[in-house]
Amino acid sequence: MRYKEYLRDQLPAIVTHILSMLLCVVFLSAIDIQASIISILLVFWILIVAIYIHIRFFLRKRYFAELLLQLERLDKKYLISEVMEHPILTEDKIYHRLLKAANKSMMEQVSESKQERKEYKEYIEQWIHDVKTPISAMKLLCENNKSDITRKLMAELTKVSHYTDQALYYARSENVEKDYFIKEVSLSEIIHAAVAENKQLLLQNHISIEINDCDNTVYTDEKWIGFILNQLIANAVKYSGKEPKIGFEENSKQGQVVLIIRDNGVGISESDLPRIFEKGFTGENGRTGKSSTGIGLFLCKRLCEKLGIGIAVKSESGQGTQVELYFPKGDFVKVQE
């Protein structure tokens, strides 16, 4: 609170006092009161008003400074009406009541929105669970009746399965900690599982796979890392080039196990590279008829953050893409043994 602004707010009271003084002087002069007495009266009047205005300014300034300090310390600013001291002045009591009423209304709206969001999320999860059953049935039918048509159908079903998984993991990505289960898993096993799951997609697109030196183990959630690998494989297939291939390699760097997924596809332009993890960003490749949603890498980044895995992408337009996943070395289990 600035003194100048405070004085401006007090202007009506000051003007009232000045008018009262003038009327008082006129009245006292009319009844023949000596000028010296009137002057003394005016001096005391002005002095009392000035002291009152100054003291009130410092009290109000201290009051609002404490309120602002409380607000600054709060993580959830809207709870200020719950933690502030009960005001003494009637005007402040009214503002406090208004603040509490507004806060209560906002909390009700937030609670209602959360409930709607929760119900929608449950519906999406249930819908995805239901739609996976006919997808699995169609895959089984195709496996039992192999032909060129069913193989193509299998590749398309793999894409549909990826999209449903993407929707499911997106719905759950805000609360990963409620679903994941960290354990020691073999990199080789999760890579082979991801390749097997995308077998028809890889065969239909004539993509060769190379897996080198992936014998290490890491501590992570097998299901979530499997989804991340599926997304990276799907991207490599979607943006593949001539004689496409995907390579998996593992090494250690700065106390971490690094899984490298490398392809020789169309690559990512230098201008797009800093934004590839942004939600909905499709870039130049996404605008060339690849039906990109801009969700896949965004989800990979979010899930990696939740799982404590680092992720980095190196790429050059026309030269392929290299994705690196950094797993922290978790040897605490061995220490306990």
pLDDT tens, position by position, 15-33: 999 999 999 999 999 988 8
Domain boundaries, the chain: 3-106, 117-174, 183-328
pLDDT of residue 183: 84
The DSSP bridge partners found for residue 2 are none
- Amino acid at the residue 314: K
- Give helix 148-172 / helix 90-144 axis angle, nearest 10°: 160
pLDDT of residue 333: 45
Helix/strand/coil percent split, the chain, to 5: 65, 15, 20
Average pLDDT of span 194-206: 89
Confidence of residue 290 (pLDDT cuts 50, 70, 90): low
The model's pLDDT over 69-107, given as tens digits with 9 standing for 90+, comes to: 988 888 888 888 888 888 888 888 899 899 899 989 998
| CATH 3.40.50.720 for domain 183-328 | no
Question: CB-hemisphere CA count at 13 Å for 22?
Answer: 5
From CA 94, how far away is CA 106, in angstroms rounded? Answer: 18
Average pLDDT of span 313-322: 89
Confidence of residue 50 (pLDDT cuts 50, 70, 90): very high
Tokens of 268: 């990512």
From CA 295, how far away is CA 280, in angstroms rounded? Answer: 6
- Amino acid at the residue 337: E
Confidence of residue 259 (pLDDT cuts 50, 70, 90): very high
From CA 319, how far away is CA 335, in angstroms rounded? Answer: 43
CB 251 within 8 A of CB 260: yes
Report strand pairing: 245-253 vs 208-212: parallel
Is the overall model pTM greater than 0.85, yes or no? no
CB 135 within 8 A of CB 160: yes
